[in-house]
Amino acid sequence: MSSNFNIYSKYYNLLYADKDYNSEAKYISECIQAELPGAKSILEFGSGTGTCGLILKNMGYDIFGVELSSHMTEQALANGFPCRQGDITSFEINNKFDCVISLFHVISYLSDNSSLEKAFMNAANCLNTDGLFIFDVWYSPAVYSQKPESRIKHVENEEIKVIRIAEPIMRLNENIVDVKYTVLVKDKIGNKWEEFTEVHPMRHFSLPEISLLAKHTGFDIIKAEEFLTREKPSAKTWGVNFILRKNG
């Protein structure tokens, strides 16, 4: 699994300050309790800066995170979120968990079949019997129907101003969208600009593809629904949340 968010991670919290983490954590908790009542232990794949994980922790879950970005891991630890730096396709941990969660399209960053298989098998190895694997991905019917568009986002705080330009390039035969991020950062105090570019390959998935992958790695699909709304996936559903159960 290649490392994304190299420089980008420094500005992640500011860029996603408008994200409704409370609603998303509540939704994930409801998904967990509906399928595995009383579940308490969670392993989070791609825990980022720990914002959502801390909310789940405060809700009473015993949660631990694994994050590829060392910068994000440092931020999460500084905020009091228990985690470690590591690759979700290869890291090892002695504990078993009731649930493995991987939110905000982390699985879509696994653009090759080998990484996907390893991550799913790792999730299975980390789960108790009948444990849940919950994750959301980009949904192929929506990607092909709506087609990704170039977007510009402006955010700022007291110290910096950030302009992010996202330019998508579709790789039709690979189910991948390369999102080229050009980020301009203004230091308000020194009145200086910095510019950098990162390309994030994002893989999108169909229901049969996830079904085959789940079966191959020891899972049964319990549910597939639009993230947050719980609507049935359609050509308008960009992000689909999957709930898998580890089979016996």
Burial of 58 by CB count in 10 Å (0-12 exposed, 13-18 middle, 19+ buried)?
exposed
Give the span between the Cα atoms of 96 and 234, in whole angstroms: 35
Residue 175 DSSP SS3 = coil
Q: Is the pLDDT of residue 161 over 80?
A: yes
Domain at 142-202: CATH code: 2.20.25.110
Alpha-carbon Rg for the chain in angstroms: 18
According to the model, what pLDDT value does residue 7 have? Answer: 65
pLDDT of 20: 96
What pLDDT is recorded for position 248?
A: 76
Q: Give residue 234's identity as a one-letter amino acid code.
A: S
Same fold, 8-139+204-246 and 142-202: no
State what percent of residues in the chain have pLDDT above 70: 97
How much is the pLDDT for 11?
Answer: 87
pLDDT, tens only, 191-229:
999 999 999 999 999 999 999 999 999 999 999 999 999
Homologous superfamily of 8-139+204-246 in CATH?
Vaccinia Virus protein VP39 (3.40.50.150)
Report whether 120 contacts 217 (CB < 8 A). Answer: yes
Among the listed ranges 1-5, 18-22, 84-88, 175-179, which one has the minimum average pLDDT value?
Answer: 1-5
> Which band of pLDDT confidence, cut at 50, 70 and 90, is reported for residue 1?
very low
Q: What is the pLDDT of residue 6?
A: 58
Average pLDDT of 59-87?
96
Work out the widest C-alpha separation in the chain, in whole angstroms: 60
Please give the average per-residue pLDDT across 170-193, as a whole number. Answer: 96
Please classify residue 7 by burial: count the beta carbons closer than 10 Å to its beta carbon, then call 0-12 exposed, 13-18 middle and 19+ buried.
Answer: middle
Question: What integer is the mean pLDDT of 138-166?
Answer: 96
Domain ranges of the chain: 8-139+204-246, 142-202
Residue appearing with tokens 């991550």: 119
